[in-house]
Amino acid sequence: MEIVTYPEEVLRREAEPIADIDDGIRELADKMTEMMFRAEGIGLAAPQVGVGKKMIVVNPEDDFHILINPEIVERSEEEETLEEGCLSVPGPEAPVNRAEKVVVKGIDLDGDEVRLAREGLTARVLQHEVDHISGKLYIDHLSDAERSLVLREYRKLEEESKEESEGSSL
């Protein structure tokens, strides 16, 4: 299992709800958690590891949660714009406007309902990851011009990385 990157098709699809929390789902949660920490990320959604299921793991500011079928049920009218990046679009960051506060509802691995009322960075990360299970990336919040610049930088970094790895294998 590895983190998939733009323009991988699974990142653009609406993920499927999870009906049963079985050993496969628990194993997926464990692997996603491990990958998030290994990649030094603060959130990861199942589509980012190539699995079209509605599950996210988040750990902003040591506020760790695994949520199944998460949905945002409330958003504040107050918004803020901060730089965002993404493990599936590695490299470039861009300013994204999001609600300052959210309430997210989901299910934990025990099948119990969870409601998280969060603000600041944690609210931003929850919105970013819930976007992922809806087939949306942070670049979709940008103007056409901003998105074009971010994708140009992403492709340039991707090309440089490919050239470095080809050069090291000679």
As annotated, the active-site residues are 129
- 3-state DSSP assignment of residue 16: strand
Question: Rg (Cα) of the chain, in Å, rounded?
Answer: 16
Contacts of 150 (CB under 8 A, 6+ apart): 89, 92, 94, 139, 142
Strand residue runs (E) in the chain: 43-45, 55-58, 65-75, 79-86, 89-99, 101-107, 113-119
